[in-house]
Amino acid sequence: FTYLLTRRPRRVQTLWLVGLLSVLSLSEVIIGFAWSTLFSRTAGITNLFVAIGLMDKPVALLPTFGAVLTGMVYQALPYTILVLYPALVRLDPTLLEAARTLGASPVKAFFNVVAPALRNTIVATLIMVFVFALGSYLLPQILGRPQHWTLSVLITDQAIYQSNMPFAAAMAVFLVLISLALVGMTLLVGRRENAL
Protein backbone atom coordinates (compact mmCIF):
# COMPACT_ATOMS: atom_id res chain seq x y z
CA PHE A 1 0.00 0.00 0.00
CA THR A 2 2.77 2.42 0.91
CA TYR A 3 4.55 1.78 -2.37
CA LEU A 4 1.37 2.50 -4.33
CA LEU A 5 0.77 5.60 -2.21
CA THR A 6 4.19 7.04 -3.11
CA ARG A 7 3.37 6.68 -6.81
CA ARG A 8 0.24 8.86 -6.54
CA PRO A 9 0.15 12.65 -7.04
CA ARG A 10 1.29 14.75 -4.08
CA ARG A 11 -2.25 15.91 -3.23
CA VAL A 12 -3.51 12.30 -2.98
CA GLN A 13 -0.52 11.40 -0.81
CA THR A 14 -1.28 14.30 1.52
CA LEU A 15 -4.93 13.30 1.88
CA TRP A 16 -4.01 9.69 2.70
CA LEU A 17 -1.36 10.76 5.20
CA VAL A 18 -3.82 13.07 6.96
CA GLY A 19 -6.27 10.17 7.12
CA LEU A 20 -3.61 7.92 8.60
CA LEU A 21 -2.68 10.54 11.17
CA SER A 22 -6.34 10.86 12.13
CA VAL A 23 -6.44 7.11 12.80
CA LEU A 24 -3.45 7.56 15.12
CA SER A 25 -5.48 10.04 17.17
CA LEU A 26 -7.90 7.27 18.18
CA SER A 27 -7.27 5.46 21.43
CA GLU A 28 -7.12 1.68 21.71
CA VAL A 29 -10.44 1.75 23.61
CA ILE A 30 -12.25 3.56 20.79
CA ILE A 31 -10.75 1.23 18.18
CA GLY A 32 -11.70 -1.84 20.22
CA PHE A 33 -15.30 -0.83 20.78
CA ALA A 34 -15.74 0.34 17.17
CA TRP A 35 -14.58 -3.05 15.88
CA SER A 36 -16.67 -4.89 18.47
CA THR A 37 -19.73 -3.03 17.17
CA LEU A 38 -18.84 -3.86 13.56
CA PHE A 39 -18.35 -7.54 14.44
CA SER A 40 -21.49 -7.81 16.60
CA ARG A 41 -24.57 -9.76 15.54
CA THR A 42 -27.07 -6.94 16.05
CA ALA A 43 -25.35 -3.91 14.53
CA GLY A 44 -22.49 -5.51 12.69
CA ILE A 45 -21.26 -6.03 9.20
CA THR A 46 -23.05 -9.38 8.90
CA ASN A 47 -26.35 -7.48 8.75
CA LEU A 48 -25.05 -5.86 5.57
CA PHE A 49 -24.14 -9.30 4.21
CA VAL A 50 -27.69 -10.51 4.99
CA ALA A 51 -29.17 -7.46 3.24
CA ILE A 52 -27.22 -8.09 0.03
CA GLY A 53 -27.88 -11.84 0.14
CA LEU A 54 -24.43 -13.19 1.04
CA MET A 55 -25.62 -14.67 4.36
CA ASP A 56 -28.88 -16.13 5.64
CA LYS A 57 -28.81 -14.61 9.13
CA PRO A 58 -26.52 -12.26 11.03
CA VAL A 59 -23.87 -13.81 13.27
CA ALA A 60 -21.39 -12.41 15.76
CA LEU A 61 -17.81 -12.40 14.47
CA LEU A 62 -16.31 -12.03 17.93
CA PRO A 63 -14.72 -13.10 20.19
CA THR A 64 -12.40 -14.66 17.62
CA PHE A 65 -8.75 -14.57 16.68
CA GLY A 66 -9.73 -12.95 13.37
CA ALA A 67 -11.38 -10.07 15.21
CA VAL A 68 -8.28 -9.56 17.38
CA LEU A 69 -6.03 -9.71 14.32
CA THR A 70 -8.20 -7.24 12.41
CA GLY A 71 -8.18 -4.75 15.28
CA MET A 72 -4.43 -5.03 15.80
CA VAL A 73 -3.71 -4.65 12.08
CA TYR A 74 -5.98 -1.60 11.96
CA GLN A 75 -4.09 -0.10 14.89
CA ALA A 76 -0.58 -0.93 13.63
CA LEU A 77 -1.01 -0.22 9.90
CA PRO A 78 -0.67 3.58 10.15
CA TYR A 79 2.61 3.22 12.06
CA THR A 80 3.89 0.81 9.44
CA ILE A 81 2.97 3.09 6.56
CA LEU A 82 4.43 6.17 8.23
CA VAL A 83 7.76 4.38 8.83
CA LEU A 84 7.99 3.00 5.27
CA TYR A 85 6.77 6.15 3.52
CA PRO A 86 9.93 8.34 3.81
CA ALA A 87 12.20 5.55 2.56
CA LEU A 88 9.94 4.86 -0.41
CA VAL A 89 9.68 8.55 -1.31
CA ARG A 90 13.50 8.84 -1.32
CA LEU A 91 13.89 5.77 -3.53
CA ASP A 92 15.25 6.73 -6.94
CA PRO A 93 12.45 6.13 -9.51
CA THR A 94 14.99 5.62 -12.30
CA LEU A 95 15.92 2.27 -10.71
CA LEU A 96 12.42 0.96 -11.38
CA GLU A 97 12.40 2.46 -14.85
CA ALA A 98 15.68 0.70 -15.62
CA ALA A 99 14.31 -2.61 -14.38
CA ARG A 100 11.17 -2.17 -16.48
CA THR A 101 13.28 -1.23 -19.53
CA LEU A 102 15.29 -4.42 -19.08
CA GLY A 103 12.07 -6.45 -19.24
CA ALA A 104 11.13 -6.96 -15.60
CA SER A 105 7.43 -7.10 -14.77
CA PRO A 106 6.15 -4.62 -12.15
CA VAL A 107 6.04 -7.38 -9.51
CA LYS A 108 9.53 -8.62 -10.37
CA ALA A 109 10.87 -5.05 -10.38
CA PHE A 110 9.35 -4.48 -6.95
CA PHE A 111 10.84 -7.63 -5.40
CA ASN A 112 14.23 -7.36 -7.13
CA VAL A 113 14.78 -3.59 -6.84
CA VAL A 114 12.54 -1.97 -4.22
CA ALA A 115 12.53 -4.69 -1.54
CA PRO A 116 16.34 -5.14 -1.43
CA ALA A 117 16.87 -1.36 -1.36
CA LEU A 118 14.54 -1.07 1.64
CA ARG A 119 15.67 -4.19 3.51
CA ASN A 120 16.76 -2.31 6.66
CA THR A 121 13.58 -0.25 6.75
CA ILE A 122 11.40 -3.32 6.24
CA VAL A 123 13.19 -5.27 8.99
CA ALA A 124 12.96 -2.32 11.38
CA THR A 125 9.26 -1.92 10.58
CA LEU A 126 8.52 -5.61 11.14
CA ILE A 127 10.32 -5.59 14.48
CA MET A 128 8.57 -2.37 15.54
CA VAL A 129 5.15 -3.79 14.70
CA PHE A 130 5.95 -7.08 16.45
CA VAL A 131 6.99 -5.29 19.65
CA PHE A 132 3.91 -3.06 19.31
CA ALA A 133 1.73 -6.18 19.03
CA LEU A 134 3.41 -7.77 22.06
CA GLY A 135 2.35 -4.79 24.13
CA SER A 136 -1.23 -4.63 22.87
CA TYR A 137 -3.41 -4.75 25.94
CA LEU A 138 -7.04 -3.76 25.39
CA LEU A 139 -7.81 -5.05 21.89
CA PRO A 140 -7.22 -8.74 22.72
CA GLN A 141 -9.49 -8.40 25.76
CA ILE A 142 -12.28 -6.59 23.91
CA LEU A 143 -12.23 -8.61 20.68
CA GLY A 144 -10.96 -12.02 21.76
CA ARG A 145 -11.01 -14.83 24.28
CA PRO A 146 -8.31 -15.63 26.86
CA GLN A 147 -6.54 -17.90 24.37
CA HIS A 148 -6.13 -14.86 22.07
CA TRP A 149 -4.55 -12.64 24.72
CA THR A 150 -1.12 -11.14 24.25
CA LEU A 151 1.71 -11.56 26.73
CA SER A 152 1.04 -8.20 28.40
CA VAL A 153 -2.57 -9.21 29.15
CA LEU A 154 -1.44 -12.58 30.49
CA ILE A 155 1.11 -10.88 32.76
CA THR A 156 -1.58 -8.60 34.19
CA ASP A 157 -3.97 -11.53 34.62
CA GLN A 158 -1.37 -13.59 36.49
CA ALA A 159 -0.20 -10.70 38.69
CA ILE A 160 -3.53 -9.11 39.62
CA TYR A 161 -6.31 -11.65 39.17
CA GLN A 162 -4.50 -14.96 39.78
CA SER A 163 -2.16 -13.56 42.48
CA ASN A 164 0.71 -15.48 40.91
CA MET A 165 3.40 -12.82 41.08
CA PRO A 166 6.41 -15.12 40.45
CA PHE A 167 4.94 -16.42 37.18
CA ALA A 168 3.96 -12.87 36.14
CA ALA A 169 7.51 -11.68 36.88
CA ALA A 170 8.97 -14.54 34.83
CA MET A 171 6.70 -13.67 31.89
CA ALA A 172 7.66 -9.99 32.20
CA VAL A 173 11.36 -10.88 32.10
CA PHE A 174 10.66 -13.06 29.04
CA LEU A 175 8.88 -10.13 27.36
CA VAL A 176 11.81 -7.80 28.09
CA LEU A 177 14.30 -10.37 26.76
CA ILE A 178 12.32 -10.79 23.54
CA SER A 179 12.19 -7.01 23.08
CA LEU A 180 15.92 -6.64 23.74
CA ALA A 181 16.72 -9.49 21.33
CA LEU A 182 14.67 -7.78 18.62
CA VAL A 183 16.38 -4.45 19.21
CA GLY A 184 19.75 -6.23 19.07
CA MET A 185 18.77 -7.90 15.79
CA THR A 186 17.83 -4.53 14.35
CA LEU A 187 21.17 -3.03 15.36
CA LEU A 188 23.04 -6.03 13.96
CA VAL A 189 21.24 -5.83 10.61
CA GLY A 190 21.92 -2.08 10.48
CA ARG A 191 25.64 -2.49 11.19
CA ARG A 192 26.01 -5.29 8.68
CA GLU A 193 24.23 -3.24 6.02
CA ASN A 194 26.43 -0.21 6.73
CA ALA A 195 29.55 -2.39 6.45
CA LEU A 196 28.52 -3.45 2.96
pLDDT confidence of 193, banded at 50, 70, 90? low
Task: Tell me the pLDDT of the chain averaged across its residues.
Answer: 86
113: enclosing H helix or E strand: none
pLDDT value of residue 195: 63
pLDDT value of residue 171: 92
Asked if the model's pLDDT at residue 194 lies above 70, the reply is: no
Report DSSP letters for 48-74, one per residue: HHHHTTS-SS-----SSHHHHHHHHHH
Asked if the model's pLDDT at residue 51 lies above 80, the reply is: yes
**Residue 151: closest CA among 172, 126, 179, 182:** 172
The average pLDDT across 21-50 equals: 88
Tell me the pTM. 0.78
- Domains within the chain, CATH numbers bracketed: 2-195 (1.10.3720.10)
